[in-house]
Structure 1
Amino acid sequence: MMILNKPGFQLMERSLGAATLRQKVVADNIANVDTPYFKRSEVKFEEMLQQEMGMKSLQGFRTDPRHFVIGRPANPEPAIVRDNQTTMNNNANNVDIDYEMALMAKNQLRYNTIVQQVNGDIKKFRTAIGGRG
């Protein structure tokens, strides 16, 4: 469906994917809170997205995937980054359970907000297509 193939929906799809990946990474960090020498990881997405959105560049419109790319498309993907520099515990582990639980709650709120936005947009399209009757 062409309506759902717009940049806004694609961005929300990538944001949901990043939130899902972040949930898995944080759960892994929590599961390994007492594992010696375990180093926590985190997902970088919003920072990369903000960087891409801040860079103003001209991008050409392509009607066929075989056309030349003009400009640089803003399609950041989430990346997992391991923190090897810090140590929290005597066993060289750097997972702080309170921080990880707060990250998990924040991520859940972000995920729920994006899902509500997607549901609201789809509801608007349904109303526009089918009418209120």
Structure 2
Amino acid sequence: MNLINNSTNQLLETAVSSSMTRQNTISQNIANVDTPNYKAQKTVFSHELNRAQEGQRLNAHRRDDRHVEFGGRPSNDAATVMKRTNTAYNHNGNNVDIDHEMSEMAKNQIYYNTLVDRLNGRFNSVRTVLGQGR
């Protein structure tokens, strides 16, 4: 049994990394709020993309593990950055809504802090089990 490198810790690590990607994307949007023709970006987690594409996916049966995956779910749960091109809020072609970006940043900060607290709790449990905690 691996106490440190288990599936839950790997999932939390991926979520923290994705949250950092989202924070960087939001920061870029805020920094370019007055840039002409700048198109806002958003970070989408792959499980959200999978859910949105569920009805459009073809499924295939692989007879051998060496065959290329076809129609299945991607193996990583990392975040993907996409441009929002279907809106324009300003006359100069810029589509950054500063109020929306600030609220998304606040939500992402709460999400990130929750993930870090959960990871910290898991590592404190391991320390306690090993006799290092109090």
- AA aligned to 2:108 is N
Q: What whole-Å deviation, never above 9, does each CA across 1:3-60 have from its counterpart, x for those lacking one?
A: 2211110110010001111111100000000111000001111643884xx9xxxxxx
Query: Are the counterparts in 2 of residues 43 and 79 from structure 1 also a CA contact under 8 Å?
Result: yes
Q: C-alpha displacement at 1:128, in angstroms?
A: 1.1
**Match of 1:82?**
83
Stretches of structure 2 that go unaligned for 5 or more consecutive residues are: 55-64, 67-71
Q: Which moved more, 1:3-12 or 1:123-132?
A: 123-132
TM-score (norm 2): 0.77
Q: Structure 1 residue 132: deviation in Å?
A: 5.6
Q: Which amino acid aligns with 1:104?
A: M
**What are structure 1's unaligned runs of at least 5 residues?**
55-67
Instruction: Give the conservation status (yes or no) of the 8 Å contact 2:127–2:133.
Output: no
Change (3 A) 1:72 1:38: closer
Where has structure 1 moved over 3 Å in runs of 4 or more? 46-51, 71-74
- Larger helix fraction of residues: 1
1:33 is matched with which residue? 33
Q: Is the 8 A contact 1:37 1:91 kept in 2?
A: yes
Q: Which residue of 1 aligns with 2:114?
A: 113
Counterpart Cα distance in 2 of 1:24 and 1:86: 21
Residue number in structure 1 paired with 2:69: none
RMSD over equivalenced CA pairs, Å: 2.6
The residue matched to 1:86 in structure 2 has which SS? coil
**For the Cα contact (< 8 Å) 1:38–1:93, is it kept in 2?**
yes
CA distance in 1, matches of 2:3, 2:49: 23
Q: What TM-score do you get using the length of structure 1 for normalisation?
A: 0.77
- Counterpart of 2:94 in structure 1 is 93
